[in-house]
């Protein structure tokens, strides 16, 4: 294995824009939920046909781009400018509207605009806004991050986070969706294994998923990075677990 400095330098210089994880190929693995969200999304988007669909927190548009057929009107939102620019490059040629939004601000669309609203790993689902922009009978389909996702890695750097572990509970989200006037039709959960082979994969992930360790820099966490590097060199991959839940609701 290359030195700590070589791996960290490579990871610090690598591109982390968009929402693809191809850079980790060969140095990390993650199980996927059995339901196959990208396939489900493609099926639902093709079914909208002449209607309108909205994808929230689209990242660089990578998941929507996998769909072979899109509705007559396809809109995506994104709150981080570099990702929005990437989404325009990827989805613009297919006629997709890319709208930049600010967190916590109402969606810039009239009531009852969309037949389908989707999201893969939304930052914080705004249930009243989702219900507002859906047409009567319209559906919300999403894969959400669940409670304590990747916390084995996060707590390696930040220490125990008992309160944070209780966030993103799917039962709480179901109640919030129903309070906003939606009927939850399906709610499935999954816990998936993550394996990280080297410290470069760790640094790259923490640069990309900035909310995991919000104050992360290589310099600030040098001691913890070096301790983890030593463990990886002698004990095999670092194992964490992602949690996900699939949500489908109808207005």
Q: Which CATH architecture has domain 4-250?
A: 3-Layer(aba) Sandwich (3.40)
Calpha distance 191→149 (Å, rounded): 8
181-198: pLDDT as tens digits: 999 999 999 999 999 999
197-233: pLDDT as tens digits: 999 999 999 999 999 999 999 999 999 999 999 999 9
Interhelix angle for 199-208 vs 151-158, to 10°? 90
The predicted pLDDT at position 104 comes to 87
Cα distances (angstroms) measured from residue 56 to each of 38, 103, 107, 246:
14, 11, 10, 15
Name the phi and psi angles at 62, rounded to 5. Answer: -65, -40
Do 83 and 120 form a contact (C-beta atoms < 8 A)?
A: no
The predicted pLDDT at position 19 comes to 76
Do 135 and 91 form a contact (C-beta atoms < 8 A)?
A: no
Contacts of 159 (CB under 8 A, 6+ apart): none
169-178: pLDDT as tens digits: 999 999 999 9
Cα distances (angstroms) measured from residue 188 to each of 42, 134, 168:
19, 22, 14
- Asked whether the predicted pLDDT for residue 18 surpasses 90, the reply is no
Q: Which pair of tokens denotes residue 58?
A: 């689209």
What is the chain's length? 251
Global pTM value: 0.91
Give SS3 for 199.
Answer: helix
Domain boundaries, the chain: 4-250
Residue 103 confidence class, pLDDT cut points 50, 70, 90? confident
127-177: pLDDT as tens digits: 999 999 999 999 999 999 999 999 999 999 999 999 999 999 999 999 999
Do 152 and 84 form a contact (C-beta atoms < 8 A)?
A: no
The predicted pLDDT at position 235 comes to 84
Residue 31 confidence class, pLDDT cut points 50, 70, 90? very high
50-73: pLDDT as tens digits: 999 999 999 999 999 999 999 999
- CB environment 16-37: b (16+ within 10 A), e (fewer): bebbbeebbeebbeeeebeeeb
The predicted pLDDT at position 232 comes to 97
Q: Which pair of tokens denotes residue 224?
A: 């913890």
Question: Could you give the strand order of the β-sheet that contains 183-196, starting from the edge strand earlier in sequence?
Answer: 28-30, 183-196, 238-250, 134-145, 114-120, 52-56, 73-78, 97-100
């Amino acid at each position: 294995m290359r030195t700590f400095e070589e791996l960290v330098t490579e990871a610090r210089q690598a591109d982390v824009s968009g929402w693809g994880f191809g850079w980790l190929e060969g140095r990390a693995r993650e199980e996927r939920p059995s339901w196959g969200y990208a396939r489900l999304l493609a099926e639902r988007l093709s079914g909208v046909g002449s209607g309108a669909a909205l994808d929230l927190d689209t990242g660089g548009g990578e998941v929507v781009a996998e769909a072979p057929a899109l509705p007559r009107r396809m809109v995506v939102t994104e709150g981080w400018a570099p990702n929005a620019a990437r989404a325009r490059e990827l989805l613009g040629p297919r006629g997709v509207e890319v709208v930049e939004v600010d967190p916590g601000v109402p969606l810039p669309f009239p009531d009852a605009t969309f037949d389908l609203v989707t999201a893969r790993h939304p930052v914080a689902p705004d249930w009243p806004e989702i219900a507002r922009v859906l047409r009567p009978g319209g559906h919300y389909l999403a894969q959400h991050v669940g409670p304590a996702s990747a916390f084995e890695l996060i707590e390696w750097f930040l220490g125990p986070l008992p309160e944070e572990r209780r966030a993103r509970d799917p039962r709480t989200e179901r109640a919030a969706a129903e309070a906003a006037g939606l009927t939850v039709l399906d709610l499935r959960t999954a816990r998936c294994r993550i394996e990280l082979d080297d410290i470069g994969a760790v640094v790259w992930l923490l640069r990309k998923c900035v909310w995991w360790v919000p104050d992360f820099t290589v310099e600030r966490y040098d001691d913890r990075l070096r301790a983890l590097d030593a463990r990886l060199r002698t004990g095999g991959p670092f194992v964490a677990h992602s949690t996900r839940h699939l949500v489908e609701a109808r207005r």
